[in-house]
Structures are given as C-alpha cells and as structure tokens.
Structure 1
C-alpha cells in the first residue's frame, strides 16, 4: 500500500487510475470499544448504493428519529472495524461522537467525491500537497 503524509491509501500503487475503487480503508480517531474492552480503530467502508440510501428511510427507528438515519446508513456501508465484521446499528450507536462524525464525513467524501484525498497548501510556505483524510495515527508515515 502507498502512504501519503501518514495516511494509508487503499488503492495499490499499480492500480490503474481508471479502475473503480469501491472500498476505502480508514482509521478512527478514538476507536470502537467492544464488550470485551478491545479497541478497534482500523476499518473499511464501501461505496453506498441507491438501496443503501433508500432502505433506511423505511426503518421505524429513522421514521421516529430522522437523526438515526446516519446510524443505520453507516451500519450498512462500514464492512469492518478491526476484528469486528458484523457491523450493525448497535455498533455504530456505541461509537464515540468524534468517531461518528469522522465516519459521517468519510461517507460524504467517498460517495460525493469518490475518494478520500484532499489538496491542501502549507500555511507557512504555500507548498501544495495531497493528504488522505481517511485518517492515520499521529506520527505515522
């Protein structure tokens, strides 16, 4: 895997640019703590389908509380959190608020923009470079 400014990109270095990328690796800022106390930070989110966005609208929990839409939607598109592969609404409900916000932003980026990269400029020197917003641990390269 190729790393850019401390973030792991899920696209292999030899992947053709025109090939569709449908899964995106990420690292949560804090991590999901399971019932045994283990912390899970690294995960995978797949691109959402039209069905992923429509099915939650029929969910009674979403009808009662529209704010619950993101919980149901993320439970459908996050395919793994560490060793946890059965991602359901209960898992998303137990995320820390910072991790939920991170996943909501990641969802928006990969489904609206198709990638997790952002072009930025250094405020000191103005040099432009690309960062991967899917997250990484501080100090990793």
Structure 2
C-alpha cells in the first residue's frame, strides 16, 4: 500500500512520482511518499528467514536531525546511516519492526542498495536509473527499487 498526500494547486511541479487519482472530479495530483523495494541479497533473521521485500518512506528533517543526538552516532559518525535507515524503512518482509540492530546485521551490499535508494527518493524524487546495454548500447531506464521476477 502506498501512502499519498494531496498537492495543492499552484505548488511547484512534482517529479514523476505524482499520481493522479480519479476519486474526485477535480483529479488532484497525489505525492508519493512510500517506495517499495527488493533487497539484492536480503536480511537473514535469527530464525533463518530471509526478508527481501520492503518499503521505505520519504525522510523528514526530523529523521535527519535525530541521529545527530544519538550517542552511537556521536561516538562513530558512520553509524548515522544505520540509525537513519532504521527510521525510514517502514517494513521488511514479515519483521514486526525495523531497528538499528536489523540494519547493522544486513549484508553490506543491501545497506549500499538502501543508501542509494534513500538518496534517489529523497534527493532526486524517483527510483529510476538511466542505463546503457553493454552489447547494443541501447539507452533505457530501469526502476532500481526492484519488483517482480523479470523486472529490474
């Protein structure tokens, strides 16, 4: 389920993550605030269950400020990523909640993927990346958040 909020008319244009719904005659655009993803490797919990599908929400200023007051971040600034990701990942597989301990125990490739996804949705406003086929040099876009089998 994606959460959306109305965008008032006359505000600056929102990138490709604006969805128009036909629930009202005025057809007001909606801002996408949650993004589904598929981890490249997946988080392996203590019971041996692999969790790959999740959702990340847009970050707020509070999300970026609160880690600065965390003792673990003050001791080691590299821990900022762990605390920040644990705040904005709203779901991962069947886990009841996402804590900094979950993010700490993810594979490095998954953390790198989540950092890139965070940057894309919060700085660029989308989850697409431009790519070039190495064989035929055809240029196209892929959605890096992942999806069903056979999709990027």
Could you state the TM-score of these two structures normalised by the residue count of structure 1? 0.82
Write out per-residue CA displacement over residues 92-127 of structure 1, whole angstroms, 9 at most, x where no aligned residue: 011011111111111111100011012333344343
In structure 2, distance between residues paired with 1:85 and 1:114: 28
In structure 2, distance between residues paired with 1:125 and 1:92: 38
In structure 2, distance between residues paired with 1:135 and 1:85: 22
- The answer to which structure, 1 or 2, has the higher relative contact order (CA under 8 A, 6+ apart) is 1
Are 1:94 and 2:98 counterparts? no
Quote the residue 2:150 is aligned against.
140
Q: Decide whether the 8 Å contact of 1:30 with 1:99 is kept in 2.
A: yes
Quote the residue 1:30 is aligned against.
41
Question: What displacement does 1:130 show?
Answer: 1.7
In structure 2, the gaps of 5 or more residues are: 1-16, 22-28
Question: What displacement does 1:128 show?
Answer: 2.9
Pick the structure with greater CA Rg. 2
Q: Decide whether the 8 Å contact of 1:47 with 1:110 is kept in 2.
A: yes
Matched position secondary structure for 1:84: coil
Q: Decide whether the 8 Å contact of 1:120 with 1:128 is kept in 2.
A: yes
Question: What displacement does 1:33 show?
Answer: 0.7
- Identify which range, 121-130 or 111-120, moves more after superposition: 121-130
Q: Decide whether the 8 Å contact of 1:56 with 1:72 is kept in 2.
A: yes
Quote the residue 2:7 is aligned against.
none
Quote the residue 1:46 is aligned against.
57
In structure 1, the gaps of 5 or more residues are: 1-10
Aligned length: 128
Quote the residue 1:58 is aligned against.
69
